[in-house]
Structure 1
Amino acid sequence: MPDNKNRQFLDFEKPVKEIFDEIEKLKQTEEKTKVDLSDSIKKLEDQVIEKRKNITSNLTAWQKVQLSRHPDRPYTLKYIQKMSTNFIELFGDRNVKDDKAIVGGFAQLEGETVMLIGHQKGINTKMRQLRNFGMANPEGYRKALRLMKLAEKFNKPIVTLIDTPGAYPGMEAEERGQGEAIARNIYEMMRLKVPVICVIIGEGASGGALGIGVGDRIFMLENSWYTVISPENCSSILWRSWEMKEKAAEELKLTSDYMHKFGLVDTIVPEPLGGAHWNYDEAAENLKNQIIATLKELKQIPAEDRINQRIEKFSKMGFWDEVAS
């Protein structure tokens, strides 16, 4: 994770940044004067913890959206690195090309081989361009499906990590069958014979998330979001401006607590104090423990029963009122 000098701070994290700046000044003074200032530094570090706690306990929906997009937040490859061993990445959809916005391959979780698949945004400007900011083309979803079918062939569980602002909306993606690729994945994932766990680790937007988002259990990290459209695009449609994005975020009820309340996700995975970007190891450990425990539970259920439960689970999603005519 970034060291304190290279950390990036969101607007609502500025009180924490101010304390970090004070800590840095004290460290420089200590180095120059050779005076022991460790007690003062320790007090400020305790203030950082308290301030992070205060900030994250009162986040608005829009602030959680911002947190899910934090430039220091861990992405799929970081979780794979921290959670698993012996990761072997697999490439290509055997049709068009290898889509860098989706990564996947076999790895071991506590000695058990699983197929890990997820969106990857990139950690700097060059890599974000290479990975198309986590927005997959049709070949990305076809690659994901190929890897899922491979896992099913060898009877290995599947874990997907979702973090995308949406599937790529370009003309070339539509020409190559973006909608069909996502729909095919939803159809096929419903019927996979192996256990499937889906985790929203950051942004979970629209069909881009659903393309690898059908499973026996759906998890959300505490500061992630999951909805049919981003707040900005919702604002631009309803109010013809992005200025109402904060109101749109509130109205969409896109945060993990609402998603759990609505029955769209099964479990909220806690993040380190202040967000996953503060402690990669703790964030990955929390998620790994939840995945391993759930896999043990799912493996006790016969494949046919799992499929039926999965279909029933998604068929029941949503709620409505009927008005008498």
Structure 2
Amino acid sequence: MTHYLDFEKPLAEIEGKAEELRAMARANDEMDIEAEAAALDRKAADLLKDLYKKLTPWRKCQVARHPDRPHCRDYIDALFTEFTPLAGDRKFSDDDAVMGGLARFDDRPVVVLGHEKGNDTQSRIQRNFGMARPEGYRKAVRLMEMADRFDLPVITLVDTPGAYPGKGAEERGQSEAIARATEKCLQIGVPLVSVIIGEGGSGGAVAFATANRVAMLEHSVYSVISPEGCASILWKDAEKMREAAEALRMTAQDLHKLGVADRIISEPLGGAHRDPQVTIAAVKATLLSMLDELSGSKRKALVQDRRNKFLSMGSKGLAA
């Protein structure tokens, strides 16, 4: 069943009518409604094009959160072979919100890390909706140290509303764990590339995306806080999330202008969820290109490149 966003309701009506006609035709062989259904398909295609021609930041945020977007597990299953998941932070426990392990990408050994939100009610609860706890970030540090020791490139797939703000997480040092993961990203002497595949929320995302190269899917978002959280703080009204989304400059297009994102990966018309395979293929091509750019670089050069990138971040596009 297709999940439609609020602004897609007119599209839902047209596509629903086309499906109803085809269902009636399947039930009655004598009915010939293909011409009418095809006309509705054309109307739906035109409307989809209009809706996605120039999405507002808030609508992009909605698309980035779409439950049917490909998630970290989908990318790992499609793009990586010999994936061997590694669990636990060797201090407290494992965190199901963070997936990571050894794998082969285009037949080269790598370490892959990512936030996993889950794809149904049970898995979303198990994965804590992609909100990592301290042990998730400490697991990431452990895997990055392993990658550094064995000279393996690191690929991170970011998709989180933010780090989990619960009482237990704070008691176990959430802020310190995020800071250590961010620090480790800056220290390792191997190529580190990151793709924002959905939401890049707050320090929970930065801890995985402090990379040599950062790419964003066309309708992904990356921000210090969610629009709802920003609106609650600034205006004491979460319903002002549309204004907050505009002010935060959280879209891939804005962040590319500011130098936060190095590349924008095009999505199929209607978002990544409309054609996951095309999206996954585009992400693969971008990852290969980014890794090729960094291959052959010496350890000190990779570390310095990363530091320079983040020290200069935001210095361009400020007047835009």
Instruction: Please say whether Structure 1 and Structure 2 have the same fold, judged by a TM-score greater than 0.5.
Output: yes
Deviation of residue 179 (structure 1)?
A: 1.0
Whether 2:208 is the aligned partner of 1:221: answer: no
Q: How does 1:2-13 map to 2 (within 5 A)?
A: 6-13=1-8
Q: Root-mean-square deviation (CA), in Å?
A: 1.5
SS in 1 for 2:155: strand
Distance 1:28 1:187 in 2: 56
Cα drift, residue 155 of structure 1: 1.7
**How big is each residue's C-alpha offset from its partner over 1:104-135, in whole Å with a ceiling of 9 and x where there is no partner?**
11222222222111111111122111111111
Question: 1:205 — aligned with what?
Answer: 201
Distance in 1 (alpha carbons) for counterparts of 2:232 and 2:251: 20
1:58 deviates by: 2.1
Alpha-carbon distance in 2 for matches of 1:40, 1:105: 51
What is the alpha-carbon distance in structure 2 between the residues aligned to residue 253 and residue 86 of structure 1? 38
- Aligned twin of 2:270: 274
Query: 5+ unaligned residues in a row in structure 1: which ranges?
Result: 1-5, 321-325
Aligned length: 315
| Identity rate, percent | 44
Compute the displacement of 1:152 (Å).
2.0
2:16 counterpart SS class: helix
Partners of 1:56 and 1:288 in 2: CA distance: 24
Q: Which residue of 1 aligns with 2:11?
A: 16
Q: Distance in 2 between matches of 1:305 and 1:211?
A: 21
Q: Trace 1:1-325 onto structure 2 (pairs within 5 A).
A: 6-34=1-29, 35-319=31-315
The residue type equivalent to 1:294 in the other structure is M
Find the counterpart in structure 2 of residue 323 from structure 1: none
Per-residue CA deviations over 1:275-308 (Å, capped at 9, x if unaligned) read 0010110010000001011111110322211111
Contact 2:259/2:315, CA 8 A, preserved across alignment: no
Higher deviation after alignment, 79-88 or 220-229: 79-88
TM-score, normalized by length of structure 1?
0.93
Following TM superposition, by how much is the alpha carbon of 1:319 offset from its aligned partner in structure 2, in angstroms? 4.0
Distance 2:33 2:103 in 1: 45
Structure 2 residue matching 1:169: 3-state secondary structure: coil
Cα displacement string for residues 232-273 of structure 1 (whole angstroms, at most 9, x for unaligned residues): 111111111112111011111111111000111100111111
Q: Which runs of 5+ in 2 are unaligned?
A: none
- Structure 2 length normalisation: TM-score? 0.94
CA distance in 2, matches of 1:41, 1:108: 45
**Shift of the alpha carbon at 1:37?**
3.6
Deviations 1:53-95 (A, max 9, x none): 2111121111111111111111111111222223222111111
1:117 & 1:23 partners in 2: Cα distance?
41
1:147-180 CA-to-partner distances (Å, cap 9, x unmatched) read 1122222222111011111111112111111111
- Cα gap change, 1:148 to 1:12, in 2 (>3 Å): same
Describe the SS at the equivalent of 2:195. Answer: strand
Between 84-93 and 161-170, report the one with greater CA deviation. Answer: 84-93
Deviation at 1:188, TM superposition (A): 1.4
